[in-house]
Structure 1
Amino acid sequence: MNVIRFLKDWTLPVSMGMGALLYLVFAYVPQLDGAALFFDPVMEAILPLFMFLILFVTFCKVDFHKMRPVWWHLWVSIFNLLFIGIVMALILSLPRAVANSCVPSVASDLRSSASLFTFHSTLILLEALLMCIISPCATAAAVVTQKLGGSLEQTTTYTFLSNFITVLMVPICFPMIEKGADISFMSAFLKILYQVVVLLVVPMLLAYIVKHTMHRFHQKIISVKDLSFYLWGCSLMIVTGTTVKNILHAEASVVFLGMIALLGLVLCIIQFAVGRFIGHFFGRAQEAGQALGQKNTAFAIWLGITYLNPLSSVGPGCYILWQNIINSFEIWQERQKNKGLKTLS
């Protein structure tokens, strides 16, 4: 019973630890090479299914009549766009700074090479940060918000808004960063919109149909306590394993990877803190903190690998660790508070 209680209390850290451990075992035990080759595409295929199920179960518990925009949605969206604008301004200022520093003379060849290296390194760092900002609010943010006693409906509504902000901003920003990339506004817009519809709109429609036409099945789903939370734990295990894989196969120094991880930590703290600060004025600190701080990092990793330097995907990969450490701490705090209330009563 103590083991079960431990797993329930520390689901997120256990999921991340298991994901990292399982990947290392399959990667470094030669006898498991065949199994690793078999499970690699399987894990990639079932991750979207887990995300779909998480949303479906979450939406089954949502009161759709309460899903409407509120004022903190506007302010969180404004700050999200502001953060995107700041990072984009830094990225677009890089070529000019490098051009000014590269004097065309033989004596400056070494200095020019160093400047070019600095340019590429800085660009990758900024792209990694951009991935952690421009990616939408995580589908699991509503799950955590519910665990923390917040409004499931308000967080779910912002998840929709956040995804459509991402759909609009990615096709605008990415061609300015990677001018040689084969990406147009409409192709990127439609591709990302398709992802949003499949992973967000479809499970919502199915949940709405089940809730209003299949009452017995709906009651069975919502009767399983924390079902969406544990489904999220399973998906987190897969995403963590993928993150460890990307880090170990990254063609970069440990110091550079450490810089990406450290900047991801700073950004994660800033986004959670700013979100909670905004929500404080509306009595929704938990909801706004999760909305701005918790990101769909699996989607961000896909964006980085598909359109930008693949090393930029290490940023959201590390962000997974930081945001779930914060989530685990917040859930622990909420659990301690509830224990204290029970003791007083």
Structure 2
Amino acid sequence: MAYLRNLALFGAFIAGYFCPWAASLNWLIRWLIVGMMFMVMLQVKFTVRSIRVHHLIILLANIAVGMGGWGIFMLAGNRELAEVAFFTGITPTATAAPVIVGLLGERVDYAVSAFLATNLGMAVLFPFLIPIAIGNPAPTVFADVIGSLCIVVGIPVALAVPLRKLYPAATELPKRCKNLSFFTWVAAIFLIIANASQFLREQQANLPPGILWKIAVVSLLICIVNFAGGRMIGGKKFFRESSQVLGQKNTTLTIFLAITYANPLIALGPTFYVIWHNGWNAWQLQMRTFRERKKRRRVTLLKKTQGNV
């Protein structure tokens, strides 16, 4: 199943690139995100008590990476890379981060609380930060960002909370429909790449030389900073959980925001991030599997040795 999922994700990138005509369907991205967020909100228990000081530090680190990267490139006189760094670095914790934390054998409740802290915190801050980053602090942009977030975050919350209370069994729906949620994400990635493909084909002559590999490198550096910085924030007790929740990003949300308020070229920053953080996750899971197999072999060997004594 994991092989088929990786193949589907890779296929979405390839198909999107060769189907620029699908950019006409980019209005669907918003509603695909609404559907995915609804499934997540059905599972998440909304409680402020579970949020630790660590989670607030992670939120501050989230802001620092995004705004810090933006500031560095603005000082260097490169607005395109500044916006790429902003939309890539400012992305809150991914909906799948608790799942990966669980697969790594660590504290899932820590990851869920971090998801709440960063996603709700950034939802409040986006209307203030996005106008600054795109250089358009007009009140109309502020109101427009709030309107978009009310749709992609507010609607799922408004539907999920009463449904959880009226029909508790609904919390099991995401588990039953996990394949549907995954392929909804694949469809969103397809449309995002198609949108970027159309933009690149139309603007190819006007793009700065080497901009694509520069965006890829900036995205990779931010990914490294996030996973390494999260490890430092978590300390000895939560180093793996903290690394994961700061490093694994809800890229679909900021890709949508980048397309809406910047352009598809800027959206390639968080799009490349999809490759980098999933590549690291695959490596971590593979190493955990390797360690578990090695441990089982040692236990089996020890039992055989004791049996021969």
TM class by smaller structure: 0.7 to 0.9
Mark the runs of 5 or more structure 1 residues left unpaired by the alignment: 1-6, 95-118
Report the counterpart of residue 51 of structure 1 in structure 2: 36
Letter of the 2:50 partner, please give it: R
Aligned pairs for 1:258-277 (under 5 A) are 258-277=213-232
Larger radius of gyration: 1
Letter of the 1:47 partner, please give it: L
Aligned pairs for 1:142-181 (under 5 A) are 142-180=98-136
Report the counterpart of residue 244 of structure 1 in structure 2: 193
- Assess if the C-alpha contact under 8 Å between 1:264 and 1:315 holds in 2: yes
1:278 and 2:233 equivalent? yes
Letter of the 2:228 partner, please give it: A
Letter of the 1:237 partner, please give it: V
Q: Write out per-residue CA displacement over residues 242-301 of structure 1, whole angstroms, 9 at most, x where no aligned residue.
A: 3432443322367211110111011111101111222233x2223212211111111111
Distance between the aligned counterparts of 1:171 and 1:54, measured in 2? 24
Aligned pairs for 1:249-328 (under 5 A) are 249=198, 250=200, 251=203, 252=207, 255-281=210-236, 283-328=237-282
- The Cα of 1:195 is off from its aligned counterpart by 2.3
Distance between the aligned counterparts of 1:37 and 1:78, measured in 2? 35
Mark the runs of 5 or more structure 2 residues left unpaired by the alignment: 301-309
- The Cα of 1:125 is off from its aligned counterpart by 0.7
Distance between the aligned counterparts of 1:325 and 1:243, measured in 2? 19
Q: Write out per-residue CA displacement over residues 143-186 of structure 1, whole angstroms, 9 at most, x where no aligned residue.
A: 22222222222212221211232223322223334444753444
CA RMSD of aligned residues (A): 3.3
> Judging changes above 3 Å, is the alpha-carbon distance between structure 1 residues 279 and 298 closer, same or farther for their aligned structure 2 residues?
same
Identical amino acids, percent of aligned pairs: 21
Distance between the aligned counterparts of 1:147 and 1:169, measured in 2? 31
Q: Write out per-residue CA displacement over residues 71-125 of structure 1, whole angstroms, 9 at most, x where no aligned residue.
A: 321221222232234234336546xxxxxxxxxxxxxxxxxxxxxxxx4xx1111
Number of residue pairs the alignment of both structures matches? 292
- The Cα of 1:142 is off from its aligned counterpart by 1.8
1:17 and 2:35 equivalent? no
- The Cα of 1:339 is off from its aligned counterpart by 3.1
Distance between the aligned counterparts of 1:128 and 1:81, measured in 2? 14
Distance between the aligned counterparts of 2:174 and 2:124, measured in 1? 34
Report the counterpart of residue 71 of structure 2 in structure 1: 89
Distance between the aligned counterparts of 2:239 and 2:268, measured in 1? 29
Distance between the aligned counterparts of 2:108 and 2:188, measured in 1? 24
- Assess if the C-alpha contact under 8 Å between 1:20 and 1:241 holds in 2: yes
- Assess if the C-alpha contact under 8 Å between 2:40 and 2:174 holds in 1: no
Q: What secondary structure sits across from 2:213 in the alignment?
A: helix
- The Cα of 1:133 is off from its aligned counterpart by 1.5
Return 290-299 or 160-169, whichever deviates more: 160-169
Letter of the 2:57 partner, please give it: W
Distance between the aligned counterparts of 2:174 and 2:67, measured in 1? 42
> Judging changes above 3 Å, is the alpha-carbon distance between structure 1 residues 11 and 65 closer, same or farther for their aligned structure 2 residues?
farther
- The Cα of 1:67 is off from its aligned counterpart by 6.3
Distance between the aligned counterparts of 1:142 and 1:313, measured in 2? 25
Report the counterpart of residue 93 of structure 2 in structure 1: 137
Q: What secondary structure sits across from 2:210 in the alignment?
A: helix
- The Cα of 1:130 is off from its aligned counterpart by 0.5
Q: Write out per-residue CA displacement over residues 19-48 of structure 1, whole angstroms, 9 at most, x where no aligned residue.
A: 1243356x29xxxx8xx699x469647623
> Judging changes above 3 Å, is the alpha-carbon distance between structure 1 residues 37 and 302 closer, same or farther for their aligned structure 2 residues?
closer
Letter of the 2:183 partner, please give it: C
Distance between the aligned counterparts of 1:198 and 1:243, measured in 2? 22
